[in-house]
Amino acid sequence: MNQWDELQQAARSGRVSRREFMRRAAALGVATSLASGVLAKAGYAQTPVKGGTLRVGIAGGSTTDSLDITTYTDTVMINVSTSIWDGLVEVDDKNQIQPELLETLEPNADATEWVCNVRKGVTFSNGKTLDADDIVYSLNLHRGEGSKSGAAGPMKPIKDVVKMSGNQVKIVLEAPDADLPYVLSDYHVLVVPNGFTDWANPVGTGGYKLEAFEPGVRAVLSNRGGYWKEGRCNLDAVEFSVINDDAARMQALMAGEVDVSHRVVVSLIDQINAAGSYEIVQAAAGYHFNLPMLVDKAPYTNNDVRLALKYAINRQKVVELMFGKYARVGNDHPIPESDPFHNNELPQREYDPEKAAFHARKAGLGVSDVILSASDAAFNGAIDMSVLFQATAAAAGINVTVRREPGDGFWDNVWLKAPFMTSYWGGRPAATQMLATAYQSTAPWNDTHWNDAGFDKLLADAKATTDQAKRKTYIWEMQRMLHEEGGAIIPLFKDWLDVHDSKVKGHTPHGMFDLCNGRIAQKAWIEA
């Protein structure tokens, strides 16, 4: 493939911006008119067309799904909910905060109190006008004693939500957090009218209304017209069909029964490309696989053991064999390259059997010491990766026993309990959020039991300051600590892989989550 072909391919899959594309096309000596033609075909800078029905073949649904926003855990409900409701803020595809139902969020000097202006002139589907009471009520759904919300953890630092006036609320925090807007972008945090409890009959400010909903089967939405966001919600109707089986989902696409799908099986990409009428949407993301070791359980209390295992995994090989071009090598810290605070000066940890053997000898690691609890419940391919790891570790003289755990009850019985296991983390929009969720000593989901006063201090400092240069120093230092001493082996970051029929536009890569960060119904439109 020459550079021009490669660039066109990048434009089609949305990996380059319009400006970047034109600059590189000019550098390659391509005529401007030709380049614009390619862009138009790739769906850039086109005005969305109204109308049409989008059929989405989607995984991540279950008959146990409910419309109650506090219960969401997976893609189907996330995508359905953003059609009916709006959030407080939206994270855009550049990982920047964009206002949604909160127009502005102004912190005080130490970022402990945030004054937020509620967007005016937005109405719910029952005719009620949005006001501060709705915001307070909606935030409180995830707060307080005995909250069952999936967002109860992230919302915990919020001490109080106060109504200031009809269109203003104040959010008071336990401790400073300059990244509060990112915390508020959690997919559970959606705005319902004050006092709303009838989840079966949703009332929201979103662009669509629910026509039919069968949990784990399908959801049908129709446009309710006059959506407040410019250029969004262009479809007449959206039909989500739940297809959890990977092969069935891809076949439904190829048989022309759905227009958009996601979680593309890597081994089928060549076949999909060969068909010619589909486009893969690839997004580099913070979604990563990890092998957490509990640093307070022997033998992992010894950093030499942790280093030995970190050097004993062949990341390149794992990525190459299991995911081809669709994953990126990790460096034992959870901040992806796409994050502005990614520490790019840390040397990439390579597979080094000699160093691994050296550290293992130094720690006096025995043959039966390392037991890796693995299950495909952690991520698809966890067992394969564990076996690959076992082989490369054996070459360094380290014996890793792979123990297959049942997928049923995995998160209940193994996670946070087994000293060494396979796991994953979905990306978080802000680096501080990722570090606080998984590595702060007090975090309930600290899956390496990482407990370092210096680290906690750096994290608190990074959250407390709005000075970007200082934040960078702190966040870089935390990445270095995790890279050198942390309990997690982070071999790779996995790209999101969506696919659509070429007639679908506006379905562009988003690093947070697949299907436009769960806003496919808002963003996608169909070429007439």
Partner 1 sequence: MLKLLVQRLALGVATLLAVSVLIFWVTELLPGDLASNILGQSATPENIAAIRAELGLDRPAVERYTEWLGDAVQGDLGKSLANKRPVIDVIGPRLVNTLFLAIYAAVIAVPLSVLLGILAAIYRNSVFDKGVNIASLAAISMPEFFIGYFLILFMSVQLKWFPAIATIKPEQGFFQHLYVTFLPMLTLILVVIAHMMRMTRTSVLSVMSSPYVEMAVLKGIPKGRIVVHHALPNALAPIINVIAINLAYLIVGVVVVEAVFTFNGLGRLMVDAVAKRDIPVVQACGLIFAIVFIGLNLIADVLSILSNPRLRHPR
Instruction: Check residue 342 for interaction with partner 1 (CB under 8 A).
Output: no
CB nearer to partner 1: give 2 or 63: 63
**Residue 62 CB, nearest distance to partner 1 (Å)?**
5
The minimum distance between CB 256 and partner 1, in angstroms, equals 7
Give which of 108, 485, 495 is closest to 310, Cα–Cα: 485
* CA 373-374-376 angle, 5° bins: 155
In the sheet that holds 218-223, the strands lie side by side as 208-214, 218-223, 237-242, 53-58, 260-262, 496-501, 278-283
Q: How far is the CB of 141 from partner 1 (least distance, A)?
A: 13
Q: Under 8 Å CB-to-CB from 399, ≥6 apart: which residues?
A: 367, 368, 370, 393
Q: What is the number of H-type helices and E-type strands within the chain?
A: 19, 21
- Contact status: 411 vs partner 1 (CB under 8 A): yes
- Asked if residue 88 lies in contact with residue 184, where contact means CB atoms within 8 angstroms, the answer is yes
Measured from the CB atom, is 46 or 73 closer to partner 1? 73
10-18, 59-67, 288-296, 334-342 -> range binding partner 1 (CB under 8 A): 59-67
Give the whole-angstrom CA distance, residue 275 versus residue 254: 8
Q: Kindly state whether residue 255 participates in binding partner 1, applying the rule CB under 8 A.
A: yes
- Piece of the chain touching partner 1 by CB under 8 A; list 111-119, 123-131, 244-252, 305-313: 244-252
Residue ranges in 69-211 assigned as alpha helix (H):
75-84, 132-140, 152-155, 180-184
**Residues forming a β-bridge with 372:** 402
Phi, psi of 394 (to 5 degrees): -60, -35
ω into 154 cis (within 30 of 0):
no
Per-residue binding letters, 71-90, with partner 1 (x by CB under 8 A): x-x-----------------
Q: Which of 168, 218, 182, 223 is nearest to 48 (CA)?
A: 223
**Pick from 21, 44, 85, 415: which binds partner 1 (CB under 8 A)?**
415
In the list 9, 66, 117, 302, the residue contacting partner 1 (rule: CB under 8 A) is: 66
Q: Of residues 114-173, which lie at the interface with partner 1 (CB under 8 A)?
A: 146-150, 152-153
Tokens 């949990």 belong to 215
User: Is position 384 an interface residue for partner 1 (rule: CB under 8 A)?
Assistant: no
- Is residue 241 a contact residue for partner 1 (CB under 8 A)? yes
Q: For the chain, what's the residue count?
A: 528
Question: What is the rounded distance in angstroms from the CA atom of residue 331 to the CA atom of residue 329?
Answer: 7
The reply to whether 274 sits near partner 1 by the rule CB under 8 A is: no
As measured in angstroms, the least distance from the Cβ of 152 to partner 1 is 5
Tell me which stretch binds partner 1 (CB under 8 A): 5-13, 226-234, 236-244, 448-456.
236-244
Q: Check binding of 278 to partner 1 (CB under 8 A).
A: no
Nearer to partner 1, 23 or 503 (CB): 503
Q: Which is nearer to partner 1, 52 or 60 (CB)?
A: 60
What is the pattern of x (binds partner 1, CB under 8 A) and - over residues 36-55? Answer: --------------------
Residue number with CB closer to partner 1 (190 or 475): 190
Site size for partner 1 (CB under 8 A): 45
Q: At what angle do helices 382-395 and 353-363 cross, to 10 degrees?
A: 80
218: contact with partner 1 by CB under 8 A: yes
Min dist CB 72 to partner 1, Å, is 10
CA distance 205 to 228: 9
8-state DSSP, 254: H
Instruction: Candidates 412, 442, 469, 528: give the one binding partner 1 (CB under 8 A).
Output: 412
**Interface with partner 1, residue 65, by CB under 8 A:** yes
Does 408 bind partner 1 (CB under 8 A)? Our answer is yes
Q: What is d(CA 397, CA 361) in angstroms, rounded to the nearest whole number?
A: 9
| Alpha carbons 452 and 482: distance in angstroms, whole number | 10
Helix residue ranges per DSSP H, 303-381 = 303-311, 315-323, 353-363
When computed from its CA atoms, the radius of gyration of the chain, rounded to whole angstroms, is 24
Q: Which of 15, 36, 38, 215 binds partner 1 (CB under 8 A)?
A: 215
216 part of the interface to partner 1, by CB under 8 A: yes
| Residues binding partner 1 (CB under 8 A) | 57, 62-66, 68, 71, 73, 146-150, 152-153, 214-218, 241-245, 247-248, 251-252, 254-258, 406, 408-409, 411-413, 415, 423, 444-445
